[in-house]
Amino acid sequence: MGPLRILILAALLYIGYRLISANFKKTDDKKKKDTDSTQSGGAITDVLVEDPVCHKLVPKQQAHLLELDDQKIYFCSKGCCDIFVAEREKTE
Ligand SMILES: [Zn+2]
């Protein structure tokens, strides 16, 4: 774990933050245009899902997915997913 890794991680977090805030701005500024372009593009990147463990909103494409029975649950990270699974096993 060198300082370079931390730098890369910080850069990734910053880029992610920029992307999310850019998407929020877009929907505010030109809602009409966006609905047309996002549907034709096919890639929906700005769908946010809520992590049930830490209640953070994460972009669906970057979320950690857990499929339970026929339910899909999204987490911000594998760590939160592990917590959720552990809590579930405790109550059962
Ligand atoms: Zn989380």
Q: Kindly report, residue by residue over 36-87, the tens digit of the pLDDT.
A: 544 445 565 579 999 999 999 999 999 999 998 899 999 999 999 999 999 9
Decide which of 1 and 44 is more confident: 1
CA 63 to centroid of ligand 1, rounded, Å = 9
Q: What is the pLDDT of residue 50?
A: 96
Mean pLDDT of 17-45: 64
Does 24 score more than 90 pLDDT?
Answer: no
Residue 37: the pLDDT is 47
Give residue 71 CA to ligand 1 midpoint distance, Å.
18
Mind spelling out the 3-state secondary structure of 25-81? HHHHHCHHHHHHHHHHHCCCCCCEEECCCCCCEEEHHHCEEEEECCEEEEECCHHHH
pLDDT value of residue 46 = 76
> What pLDDT, on the 0 to 100 scale, is given for residue 82?
97
What pLDDT is attached to residue 25? 72
What residues flank ion ligand 1 with Cβ within 5 A? 51, 53-54, 56, 76, 80
Q: What pTM was estimated for this model as a whole?
A: 0.50
Residue 64 near residue 77 (C-beta atoms within 8 A): yes
Residue 51 C-alpha to ligand 1 middle, in angstroms?
Answer: 5
Distance 59 CA to ligand 1 centre (A): 12
